[in-house]
């Protein structure tokens, strides 16, 4: 199977869906880039080149550069979705959601319910998440919990190129508003990605490692850290399930509960800040639904309760690392051993 980057996988998913369905359009700031300038028209293709080439393939009626007015164009995407298009709208960095959040959570997410089930709003909002690029406090946040908390939204966060393509095609075909969170650190990671279109169902977790001693749940880029930690532990004879839920809403809680019932131990890795995080969310569900299987405290590994700092020394300490996952896992293992010995 051909190796493709996460970036390519996303571009291919959009291109294939645009080819298949004439109602799919893309819009956002510099998704082409160069309109109204003195040079080329597809100059950017998105700030990280994800949508490069789509303008040439589909033209300016379907690849729409917008002014810097996120509330305006995200709201327009919602309105367009409710009236017959399938817009894939780009919010460049997820940090910018504060200027257009109303159109997402009060409008797009609630149309269907408020209007008695008589409307659908098939839009996809693509946005970049995550720290590590020295982008500082307003260009590095994860923010997935905020979207996950909103009834009416689906929230997707692929951890690899293969999932990115399949989940994005699903998102575009899906009849509900979908928030599609691309981790900027993953754009250059590669995986085997089929050329044909394919979909991955929402709410179905992937197991990236399998084992019986420990369950590690990790989201988005954190799956890498979880895998690394699991591999280290495996060498010492501790085998782990590493579960990538892939979508936080809907969440495959059944898979997580099933795993914890086997392992009795849970660590959750989440790049969010800790309060009301995805990690807390999963922990709470498990502390209710799989309590009797638990042999040890549930440990979460998250960013600290701070904005994202600029300095590399600080930012590196901000991001959950494989070492921290490992330490949390060891703490859980030790605690259950102590409890068993008592």
Partner 1 sequence: MQLSREQLIEAYRRMRRIRDFEERVQAEFSNGRIPGFCHLYAGQEASGVGICMNLTDDDYISSTHRGHGHCIAKDCSIEGMMLEIFAREGGLCRGKGGSMHIADYSKGMLGANAIVGGNPPIVVGAALSAKTLKNGRVAVSFAGDGAANQGTTFEAMNLAVVLKLPAIFVIENNGYGEGTGVAYHVGAKGADGKPDLAGRARGMGMPAVNVDGADFFAVYEAMREATERARAGGGPSAIVTECLRFYGHFVGDPQLYRSKEELADVRANRDPLKIFRARVSEARLLDEAQLDAVDAEVAREVDAAVRTAEAAPFPDVRELETDVYVSYV
- Does residue 71 interact with a second copy by CB under 8 A? yes
The closest of 274, 271, 296, 298 to 286, measured between CA atoms, is 298
Binder of residue 311, out of ligand TPP, a second copy, partner 1, none (CB less than 5 to 8 A by kind): partner 1
Lateral strand order in the sheet of 299-301: 206-209, 240-244, 214-218, 266-269, 299-301
Coil, strand, or helix at residue 167?
A: helix
Among 2, 59, 98, 312, binds a second copy (CB under 8 A): 98
Integer Cα distance of 137 and 303 in angstroms: 13
Q: What is the DSSP string of 1-44?
A: --EEEHHHHHHHHHHHHHHH-TTEEEEETTSS--TTSSS-SSS-
Report, in Å, the least distance between residue 156 CB and ligand TPP: 22
The answer to whether 31 contacts ligand TPP (rule: CB under 6 A) is no
Q: Which stretch binds a second copy (CB under 8 A): 167-175, 213-221, 222-230, 296-304?
A: 296-304
- For partner 1, the closer CB: 240 or 272: 272
- Give the integer Cα–Cα distance in Å for 115 and 144: 26
- E strand or H helix that includes residue 257: helix 253-263
Residue placing its CB nearer to a second copy in the complex, 289 or 330: 289
What is the nearest approach in angstroms of partner 1 to the Cβ of residue 239?
Answer: 28
- Return the range that interacts with a second copy (CB under 8 A); candidates 124-132, 160-168, 234-242, 300-308: 300-308
The reply to whether 42 sits near ligand TPP by the rule CB under 6 A is: no
* 3, 19, 20, 68: residue in contact with ligand TPP (rule CB under 6 A): 68
**What does the buried/exposed string (b/e) look like for 261-283 if buried means 16 or more CB atoms within 10 Å of the residue's CB?**
ebbbbbbbbbbbbeeebbbbbbb
How far apart (Å, rounded) are the C-alpha atoms in residues 70 and 189?
Answer: 29
Binding to a second copy by CB under 8 A, coded x per residue (else -) over 245-284, reads ---xx-x--------------------xx-xxxxxxx-xx
- Cβ closer to a second copy: 15 or 266? 266
Q: CB 97 → ligand TPP: shortest distance, Å?
A: 9
The pair of structure tokens assigned to 24 is 């799919």
Contacts of 308 (CB under 8 A, 6+ apart): 131, 135, 136, 137, 140, 141, 315, 318
**How many degrees, rounded to 5, is the angle at CA 228 between CA 290 and CA 287?**
15
Task: Tell me which of 139, 183, 292, 305 is the catalytic residue.
Answer: 139
Angle subtended by helix axes 161-173 and 6-20, to nearest 10: 30
**What is the distance between the alpha carbons of residues 263 and 257, in angstroms, rounded to a whole number?**
10
Give residue for tokens 């921290």: 324
Residue 72 binds which entry of partner 1, ligand TPP, a second copy, none, CB below 5-8 Å type-dependent: partner 1
Alpha-carbon gap, residue 44 to 56, rounded angstroms: 12
Q: Is 51 in the site for a second copy (CB under 8 A)?
A: no
* Ramachandran angles phi, psi of 171, nearest 5°: -60, -40
Establish whether 183 is a catalytic residue: no
| Selected binder of a second copy within 151, 196, 313, 341 (CB under 8 A) | 151
String marking each residue 81-100 x if it binds ligand TPP according to CB under 6 A: -----------x---x--x-
State which residue, 129 or 296, has the beta carbon closest to partner 1: 129
314 Cβ neighbours under 8 A, 6+ residues apart:
none
Q: Which does 275 bind (CB under 5 to 8 A by kind): ligand TPP, a second copy, partner 1, none?
A: a second copy
According to CB under 8 A, which one of 49, 197, 203, 307 is a site residue for a second copy? 307
**Contact positions toward ligand TPP, by CB under 6 A?**
29, 68, 70, 92, 96, 99
**Contact positions toward a second copy, by CB under 8 A?**
71, 95-106, 109-110, 113-114, 136-138, 145-146, 148-152, 248-249, 251, 272-273, 275-281, 283-289, 291-292, 294, 296-300, 304-307, 309, 335, 339
Catalytic residues: 139
């Amino acid at each position: 199977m051909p190796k493709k980057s996460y970036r390519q996988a996303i571009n291919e998913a959009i291109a294939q869906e645009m080819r298949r369905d004439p109602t799919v359009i893309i819009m956002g700031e510099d998704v082409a880039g160069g309109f109204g300038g003195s040079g080329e028209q597809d100059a950017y293709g998105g700030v990280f080149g994800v949508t490069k080439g789509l303008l040439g393939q589909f033209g300016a009626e379907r690849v729409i550069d917008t002014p810097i007015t996120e509330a305006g164009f995200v709201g327009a995407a919602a309105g367009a979705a409710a009236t017959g298009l399938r817009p894939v709208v780009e919010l460049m960095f997820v940090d910018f959601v504060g200027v257009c959040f109303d159109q997402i959570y009060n409008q797009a997410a609630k149309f269907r319910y408020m209007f008695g089930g008589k409307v659908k709003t098939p839009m996809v909002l693509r946005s970049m998440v995550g720290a590590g690029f020295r982008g500082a406090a307003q260009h590095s946040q994860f923010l997935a919990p905020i979207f996950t908390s909103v009834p009416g939204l689906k929230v997707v966060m692929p951890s690899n190129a293969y999932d990115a393509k399949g989940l994005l095609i699903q998102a575009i075909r899906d009849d509900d508003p979908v928030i599609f969170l691309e981790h900027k650190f993953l754009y250059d990671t590669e995986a085997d990605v089929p050329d044909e279109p394919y979909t991955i169902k929402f709410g179905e977790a992937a197991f990236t490692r399998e084992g019986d001693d420990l369950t590690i749940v990790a989201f988005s880029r954190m799956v890498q850290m979880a895998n690394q930690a699991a591999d280290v532990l495996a060498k010492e004879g501790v085998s782990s399930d590493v579960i990538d839920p892939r979508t936080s809403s809907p969440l495959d809680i059944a898979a997580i509960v099933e795993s914890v019932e086997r392992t009795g131990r849970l660590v959750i890795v989440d790049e969010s800040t800790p309060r009301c995080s995805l990690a807390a969310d999963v922990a709470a569900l498990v502390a209710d639904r799989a309590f009797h299987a638990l042999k040890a405290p549930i440990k979460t590994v998250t960013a600290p309760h701070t904005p994202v700092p600029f300095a590399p020394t600080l930012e590196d300490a901000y991001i959950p690392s494989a070492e921290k996952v490992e330490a949390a896992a060891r703490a859980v293992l030790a605690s259950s051993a102590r409890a068993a010995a008592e």
